[in-house]
Chain A
Amino acid sequence: MNLSTRYALLGYAFLIPLFLILGFVLFYPIGRAIWLSFYRKIVGSPAEFIGLGNYIEILTKEYFYICLKNTVVYTFSAVTLKALIGLIVALALNRESRYRGILRTIALIPWTIPTFVIALLYYWLFHTKLGAINIILESLGMQPVRWLTSPEWAMPSVIWVNFWRGMPFFAVTFLAGLQAIKLELYEAAEIDGAGYLQKLRHITLPGLKYVILTMVLLSTIWTFGDFALIWILTAGGPGMATTTLPIYIYNSAFSRLDIGYASALSIVTAPIFILLMVMTIRIILRGE
């Protein structure tokens, strides 16, 4: 065996632990989930092979489409808000100001708080009878709002909390992107008489294009799979008003104990994530 072959083999040998770990935490669970998805498997009962039975049930049941719709609404609304407001905040924080440092720090605070803490804080803020928001509304002579307990307000409320939690990350990332845009471009534009909006449209946004696209796609992946926030705030209720696909999968596995069905749901949802990941990687590579 020559030296280069030996070095190559050594390289592969170093990769073995990685593949073992990947196999254990990734390939085996995925493979098992795929296998389980073809079975009716209730915890405590023997598994029964049903072929495509779980998939047929998913695709012919209204529940799945309600959850899919909720997930799309939740994701699209939260990500759009985070991107738009994040950009506005980034633009504001990019301006020269003696308070810029402290404002940037304050803007990042929601991102540093653990998700479950934020969810619990808002759970109490939104409480119909005891929450601070309704107490303030009532003191102003307004009617209290059932933020988490009415079908009309529950989804906007969880979207708001997701936005509040995630916007700072957008803002900080956009801010970093803004810093990378050459100042000479703005100076040249000013000389040519360009106003603020023109500079925004022709310099800032094009300069941030790949950052925006990457952040939107990443946030879409994260928000699509968001579980903890909705679970703590509403547990998917009232009714199915805030039941998204992750909540539905969780309930199928841990309330209904039907892990075959839950596995099939996960498999059905996977292509959406794969598509988003592929798009993200392509944009990142194109940006490089």
Chain B
Amino acid sequence: MTERYCEPQNNWIAAKIVEWAGKNNVDVEVSWLTWAEITPKLATAMEAGTLPDVFYGGVSPVLMDPTNIYTLPVDDILNELGWDNIFERHTLQVKIKGKYYAVPFGNMINVTHLIKSLFEKGKKAANITDFPDSGGPLPETWDDYVLLAEAMKKWDPNHHAFGLTLGEGATDGSETWCMTWFPYGGEFMTEPSVSGIKFRSKESVENMYRIKEWYDKGYISPDAITESGYWNNEQYLTRASVMIVEGPTPFYKATTTDPSLVADTMLLPPPSGPKGLIGLGGTYSWHIIKTTEHQDLCKDLILYFYKDKKAYTSYVVDGACCHIPLLKDVAEEAAKQFMPEIIGPYMEALEKCTVATQTWPYNLPSRVQGEIYSDFTYAHMMMHVLVDGWEPEKAVDWAADHIEEIAKRVYGS
């Protein structure tokens, strides 16, 4: 199980498992992983032959690389849940060659958290009424947000508008790269093969220059370059930056610690680019590992989570609706119960965006992506430029060599 940002949700899942186990007279053992542990621990367990029966977490690149699928098809579970009541777009990341290999439980997209009071101060300092790309009072594109960043500097030269994490040790550094790269045409892979890896490109170099420029101009905090530096959640919760882009997990944290910040927050679609509104997102899913000897029990356990819709709705609401559930009726009920004025725009963003995973545009799991995610390749690349003074071309080549080396090993030369 991948631990989630929301303790009540973790507890709910654990309690449900125990409840199911009690009703079915089954012994269960639950272990928790952090995000950064997913690939190393699953890969190690695969090697040692100690994989669990069920894995719950982000769609696993180790378990579901299309060239070596380690999970069982679950079409029957989805059929039983009823396609009329399922958000089909949530299932696209787990559909490989026409079959579904995991059951999505919650979908999330990284959205802009905009702190209204700071935003108004910046706009006033720079006399901004409308943003050029959006044509309206709210920014839409990264170029609009750059204008906002410049405005914030007029208001306070020490303000760092982009609450982005860059450093190693935090997977958010990888997400910063993807969120700025994809909307400008960046692509990671188009198919599961060595030739399908598209990282080495002019878009990658341009994005590296872009991040460097923002860093040099102070739009990004200089502390963002380390894991122990300024994590994006922290920048939002301490109101150090006017905006961050993250799944609304920091927003959830604010609901429990700082109601005034919640009232001061707008959740907007993520910044877009010339290639459109491409939002980095993912889905937490239930995976049944193919080595299990208890297929029927695993399927029964998974269905158990969806059957009690009232409980499922509470689960979603407990997490401040940051995870949009698989089932439409649950989503509708949750949105009514929890801050519709705030969650409404978030759900609209999810509908408007093209949802990208880190393997965009391929968008299915890849072991290659899993490995570079856990070894922080993108963050190391950015550090080589921002700290070690490498030219962006050299840093991108370094990262491309590493990614292609992994691809050769995973997919064969």
A interface with B by C-beta (< 8 Å): 42-45, 123, 128-130, 146, 148-151, 154, 233-241, 251, 254-257
Contacts and interface: CB of A to CB of B under 8 A. Distances in A.
A45 to B, nearest CB: 6
Contacts of B223: 128-129, 146, 149
A257 B40 contact: yes
B230 A257 contact: no
B222 A150 contact: yes
A141 to B, nearest CB: 15
11 contacts: A43-B40, A43-B43, A128-B223, A129-B223, A149-B225, A149-B226, A149-B228, A149-B230, A255-B375, A256-B371, A257-B375
A239 B43 contact: no
B230 A239 contact: no
Contacts of B96: none
B409 interface: yes
A148 B238 contact: no
B371 to A, nearest CB: 7
A42 B223 CA distance: 33
A235 B230 CA distance: 14
B175 interface: no
Task: In the A-B complex, list the 4 residue pairs whose CB atoms are closest, starting with the nearest.
Answer: A239-B387, A44-B43, A255-B375, A237-B226
B230 A237 contact: no
B376 interface: yes
A241 B387 CA distance: 9
A45 B408 CA distance: 12
Nearest to B43: A44
Given A44-B46, A254-B40, A257-B40, A237 B227 contact: yes
Contacts of B226: 148-149, 154, 234-235, 237-238
B375 A149 contact: no
A119 to B, nearest CB: 10
A45 B371 CA distance: 12
B134 interface: no
A235 B375 contact: no
Interface in B14-46: 39-40, 43-44, 46
A43 B376 CA distance: 17
Contact of B169 (A43, A130, A237, A256): A237
A197 to B, nearest CB: 43
B240 interface: yes
Interface in B292-339: none
Contacts of A130: 238
A1 B376 CA distance: 65
B228 A239 contact: no
B384 to A, nearest CB: 7
A233 B228 contact: yes
A239 B173 CA distance: 13
Contacts of B268: none
B46 A238 contact: no
Contacts of B240: 129
A257 B43 contact: yes
Contacts, number: 87
A206 B167 CA distance: 49
A53 B238 CA distance: 48
Nearest to B229: A149
Nearest to A258: B375
A235 B222 contact: no
Q: Which of the listed residues A234, A235, A239, A256 has the most CB atoms from chain B within 10 Å of its own CB?
A: A239
A158 to B, nearest CB: 11
Contacts of A150: 222
Nearest to A240: B388
A127 to B, nearest CB: 8
Interface in B356-396: 367, 371, 374-376, 383-384, 386-388
A249 to B, nearest CB: 14
A16 B383 CA distance: 52
B228 A123 contact: yes
Contacts of B229: 128, 148-149, 237-238
B213 to A, nearest CB: 18
Contacts of A235: 168-169, 226-228
Contacts of A149: 222-223, 225-226, 228-230
B376 A239 contact: no
B46 to A, nearest CB: 5
Contacts of A44: 43-44, 46-47, 62, 367
B67 to A, nearest CB: 13
A129 B230 contact: yes
A240 B375 CA distance: 14
A233 B223 CA distance: 13
A236 B225 CA distance: 12
A251 B40 CA distance: 11
B45 to A, nearest CB: 9
A256 B223 CA distance: 25
A43 B230 contact: no
Contacts of A233: 228
A42 B40 contact: no
Interface in B221-241: 222-223, 225-230, 238, 240
Contacts of A154: 226
A237 B167 contact: yes
B383 A237 contact: yes
A128 B383 CA distance: 19
A42 B409 contact: yes
B289 to A, nearest CB: 14
Most buried by B among A43, A233, A241: A43
Nearest to B367: A44
A144 to B, nearest CB: 10
Given A42-B409, A129-B240, A237 B225 contact: yes
Given A129-B238, A235-B227, A239-B383, 17 more contacts: A44-B47, A129-B223, A129-B230, A148-B229, A149-B225, A149-B230, A233-B228, A237-B226, A237-B229, A238-B229, A238-B383, A239-B225, A241-B387, A254-B40, A255-B375, A256-B371, A257-B43
